[in-house]
Amino acid sequence: MDTTDRTGSTDRTSVARRAAEAGATVAAERFRTAMDVEQKGEKTDVVTQADRDAQAAVVEELRAAFADDPVVGEEDDELKRVPESGPAWIVDPIDGTSNYVRGMRLWGTAVAAVRDGEPVAGASHFPVLDDRYWTDGEETYRNGDRAAVSTKSDPEACVVAPTMWWNFDERGQYGRACQALADRFGDLRRMGCAQAELAAVADGSLDGLVTNLRAFPWDTVAGVAMIRAAGGTVTDLAGERWRHDSVGLVASNGRVHETLLEAARQIDEDDS
């Protein structure tokens, strides 16, 4: 397959969309069925055969179009680091597996294309919600309609999210994250699916999100690309442009970003 986009490179956006659809279809077929659930680390960090089979379906689509591109994936033997040069793909077959195994509807498949470590396209498919998001790096779409970040500038009118999850020995940081956000913003959400939270910032359903953790690329890169293309801002804790290897992630509509940064920096304060 060798379709060409307007930049002269192969059309990675359409391939990302097809691959996300393929993975989500496999996962949806197993949703709310009996399944064996394995622990990967923390007791809430789980994996199923559906995760592995969904990733295989995604990778099959990617390699049919780009046989030589490296793939970074959460499960099995795919790479775990994003190459610093050249093209690559980043895959999360089921983001929100904890929701998935509990029969909760908020989970999805995310696929991002990067070049030299920077995202150039991305897609996320949340099949039970029937929501499809994608970006070509210039615009972001939800179900075919152009998406844009919210226009709210008053933090007390905003809804924001503490994203990712903290290990048991770091739960004090989660408490500080919630407190720092509650002190500054109107309301909080925690969805248990980082790519859904990022997509919600991109379409204006959330006004921002924050973590002080170094997030995995499969949990973040597709959604970060969507937010930027939808007019938002994504930085690290220092306010510098976020990369896949950054410590901390602060994403917003841009209008309340400084307030989010203040909250994010409070998370690492020592307990006293």
Residue 5 is assigned to a structural domain of this protein = no
Give percent of the chain above pLDDT 90.
79
Residue 271 is assigned to a structural domain of this protein = no
Which residue segment(s) compose the domain that 114 sits in?
A: 12-146
Whether residues 91 and 165 share a domain: the answer is no
- Domain stop point among 90, 112, 146: 146
Q: Give the domain CATH number at 261.
A: 3.40.190.80
pLDDT at 213: 87
Whether residues 141 and 25 share a domain: the answer is yes
Residues 265, 242: contact at Cβ < 8 Å? no
pLDDT at 47: 84
Residue 217 is assigned to a structural domain of this protein = yes
**pLDDT at residue 9 is higher than 60:** no
Tell me the average pLDDT across 8-16. Answer: 77
Whether residues 112 and 130 share a domain: the answer is yes
Residues 211, 176: contact at Cβ < 8 Å? no
- Domain stop point among 89, 115, 146: 146
165-199 pLDDT, tens digit per residue, is: 766 667 788 889 999 999 999 999 999 999 999 99
DSSP-assigned letters across all residues of 110-128:
EEEEEETTEEEEEEEEETT
Do the bridges between strand 145-146 and strand 159-162 make them parallel or antiparallel, or are there none, so unpaired? unpaired
Who has greater pLDDT, 269 or 266?
Answer: 266
Residue 19 is assigned to a structural domain of this protein = yes
Q: For residue 162, how many other CB atoms are within 10 A of its CB?
A: 27
Whether residues 42 and 69 share a domain: the answer is yes
Predicted TM-score (pTM) of this structure: 0.92
Band of the pLDDT at 79, cuts 50, 70, 90? Answer: confident
Tell me the average pLDDT across 123-129. Answer: 98
**Which of 68-82, 87-101, 160-174, 206-220 is least confident?**
160-174
Residue 3 is assigned to a structural domain of this protein = no
193-238 pLDDT, tens digit per residue, is: 999 999 999 999 999 999 998 899 999 999 999 999 999 999 999 9
Whether residues 22 and 89 share a domain: the answer is yes
Q: For residue 122, how many other CB atoms are within 10 A of its CB?
A: 33
**pLDDT at residue 43 is higher than 80:** no
- Domain stop point among 146, 163, 194: 146
Whether residues 201 and 257 share a domain: the answer is yes
pLDDT at 1: 37
Q: Give the domain CATH number at 111.
A: 3.30.540.10
Residue 130 is assigned to a structural domain of this protein = yes
Whether residues 162 and 258 share a domain: the answer is yes
Whether residues 129 and 195 share a domain: the answer is no
Q: C-alpha angle with apex 40: 107 to 201, nearest 5 degrees?
A: 30
Cβ-based burial of 131 (10 A; exposed 0-12, middle 13-18, buried ≥19): middle
**pLDDT at residue 16 is higher than 90:** yes
Residue 2 is assigned to a structural domain of this protein = no
Whether residues 112 and 207 share a domain: the answer is no
Whether residues 173 and 138 share a domain: the answer is no
Give percent of the chain above pLDDT 70.
91
Do the bridges between strand 71-73 and strand 145-146 make them parallel or antiparallel, or are there none, so unpaired? unpaired
CA dist 1 to 13, 62, 91, 206, Å?
14, 10, 20, 37
Q: How many helices (H) and strands (E) does the chain have?
A: 7, 14
pLDDT at 41: 67
19-29 pLDDT, tens digit per residue, is: 999 999 999 99
pLDDT at 205: 98
Whether residues 80 and 170 share a domain: the answer is no
Mean pLDDT estimate for the chain? 91
Tally of structural domains, the chain: 2
Residue 245 is assigned to a structural domain of this protein = yes
Whether residues 120 and 204 share a domain: the answer is no
Amino acid in the structure at residue 149: V
Tell me the average pLDDT across 111-119. Answer: 97
